[in-house]
Amino acid sequence: MYIIETDKLTKKFNNFTAVDGLDLKIEEGGLFGLLGPNGAGKSTTMYMLSTILEPTSGSAKVNGFDVQKEAEEVRKSIGIVFQDHTLDDRLNAYDNLDIHGRLYGIPGPKRAQRIKEVLELVDLQDWARQLVRVFSGGMKRRLEIARGLLQTPKLLFMDEPTLGLDPQTRRHIWEYIQKLRGEGVSIVLSTHYLEEADFLCDKVAIIDHGKIVALDTPANLKNRVQGSFIQIDCPEPQKLLNVIGKSKTVSHANAKITGTLLSFGTPDPAHAIPLLMKLADKAGIKVDSIETHKPSLEDVFIHYTGRSIREEKGSGMEEFARRMHARRT
Ligand SMILES: Nc1ncnc2c1ncn2[C@@H]1O[C@H](COP(=O)(O)OP(=O)(O)OP(=O)(O)O)[C@@H](O)[C@H]1O
Ligand SMILES: [Mg+2]
For 157-170, what is each residue's pLDDT tens digit? 999 988 877 888 88
Ligand 1 near 235 CB (within 6 A)? no
**Residue 128 CB coordination number (10 Å):** 17
Side chain identity, residue 270: A
Which CATH number applies to 2-223+306-328?
Answer: 3.40.50.300
Ligand 1 near 323 CB (within 6 A)? no
Q: What's the CA-to-centroid distance between 315 and ligand 2, angstroms?
A: 7
Backbone angles phi, psi at 324, to 5 degrees: -65, -40
Distances (CA, A) of 234 to 172, 245, 272, 274: 39, 16, 16, 16
Where do the CATH 3.40.50.300 domains begin and end in the chain? 2-223+306-328
**Residue 325: pLDDT band by 50, 70, 90 thresholds?**
low
**Residue 211: pLDDT band by 50, 70, 90 thresholds?**
very high
Ligand closest to CA 40: 1
d(CA 138, CA 140): 5
pLDDT (average), residues 111-140: 93
pLDDT at 316 over 50: no
Where do the CATH 3.30.70.260 domains begin and end in the chain? 226-294
**Residue 327: pLDDT band by 50, 70, 90 thresholds?**
low
Q: What's the CA-to-centroid distance between 268 and ligand 1, angstroms?
A: 41
Which has more confidence, 329 or 49?
49
pLDDT at 15 over 80: yes
Q: What's the CA-to-centroid distance between 79 and ligand 1, angstroms?
A: 21
Q: What's the CA-to-centroid distance between 202 and ligand 1, angstroms?
A: 25
Q: Which pLDDT value is given to residue 304? A: 83
Q: Which of these, 193, 148, 149, lies nearest to 171 by C-alpha position?
A: 193
Q: What's the CA-to-centroid distance between 140 and ligand 1, angstroms?
A: 25
Give nearest CA residue, ligand 1 atom 4: 13
Side chain identity, residue 162: T
pLDDT at 148 over 80: yes
Which CATH number applies to 226-294?
Answer: 3.30.70.260
**Residue 4: pLDDT band by 50, 70, 90 thresholds?**
very high
Residues 6+ apart with CB under 8 A from 43: 159, 190, 316, 317, 319, 320
Instruction: Please list, residue by residue across 77-113, b when 16 or more beta carbons sit within 10 angstroms of its beta carbon and e when fewer do.
Output: bbbbbbbbebbeeeebbbbbbbebbeeeebeeeebee
pLDDT at 26 over 90: yes
- Using one digit for the tens of pLDDT, what is the confidence trace for 258-305? 899 998 878 888 889 999 999 999 999 999 999 988 788 877 887 788
Give nearest CA residue, ligand 1 atom 18: 41
The atom of ligand 1 lying closest to the CA of 45 is 18
